[in-house]
Amino acid sequence: MKRSGRTLKQRLYGIKHLRSYVSRARYFRGHGVHSPYVYSIVRQVFMSSKLSGERHDLHDALLGYDVPKRRAIELQNLLCHCNYSTWSVDELVECDLLVASMATTYEHLEQYAQYAREHGITLCIIRPYNNANRWGVCSQIIEQHPSTTVDNRGYLLIFNNHLPKQRFRL
């Protein structure tokens, strides 16, 4: 009998993540998303593989921060879809979309969330599941957040607008 070579811990880790994928499958292509705002984001932003709009400046900047091309396209399309005109990566400045890249430390993530909440801007945290510490801080931000959050594994969107407190794990 051939063994897989994986330890029990590795096999249990795989089972845990399989459960996560199955629980997220109910939101595949927007099915089960009962928020019209988030549904339109799923259908028109996450499902689009081509850049929309005439501006591609956020896309180009995110590629410079080692964000995967697909995620950079999605965030550029989100900028167009939500009619955001200004954005910032790793800088606390007045803008419509604030992106926290992997260079942002755990302590700064909480500062970014507070700043976004106070100024009513959308915060995007790149790779929230990168490690346990980063996910711990992101989980805490989600719990304390009064509006809608959308987690699509590649990044976490934290909206600070008129939306009710909802959490979507796509």
Write out pLDDT tens, residues 121-142.
999 999 999 999 999 999 999 9
Residue of 109, 163, 153, 111 lying closest to 128 (CA atoms): 153
Element (H, E) at 149: strand 149-151
| Residue 11 within a domain | no
Three-state secondary structure call for residue 46:
helix
In a domain, 13, yes or no: no
SS3 169: strand
The answer to the question of residue 150 being in a domain is: yes
Quick one: pLDDT at residue 8?
A: 66
Which residue segment(s) compose the domain that 139 sits in? 29-169
SS3 content of the chain, % helix, strand, coil (to 5): 45, 15, 40
pLDDT digits (tens, 9 = 90+) for 6-51: 676 655 555 555 555 444 444 444 546 768 888 899 889 988 889 9
The pLDDT score that the predictor gives to residue 12 is: 57
19 falls within a domain: no
Vertex 29: Cα angle to 27 and 31 (nearest 5): 45
CA atoms of 74 and 56, how far apart (whole Å) = 11
24 in any annotated domain: no
Please check whether residue 113 lies inside any domain of the structure. yes
- What does the alpha-carbon distance between residue 111 and residue 141 come to, in Å, rounded to a whole number? 10
Into how many domains does the chain fold?
A: 1
pTM higher than the cut 0.85 = no
Q: Is residue 143 part of a domain?
A: yes
> Which pLDDT belongs to residue 27?
46
| Tens digit of each residue's pLDDT (9 = 90 or more) over 72-105 | 999 999 999 999 999 999 999 999 999 999 999 9
Does any domain span residue 33? yes
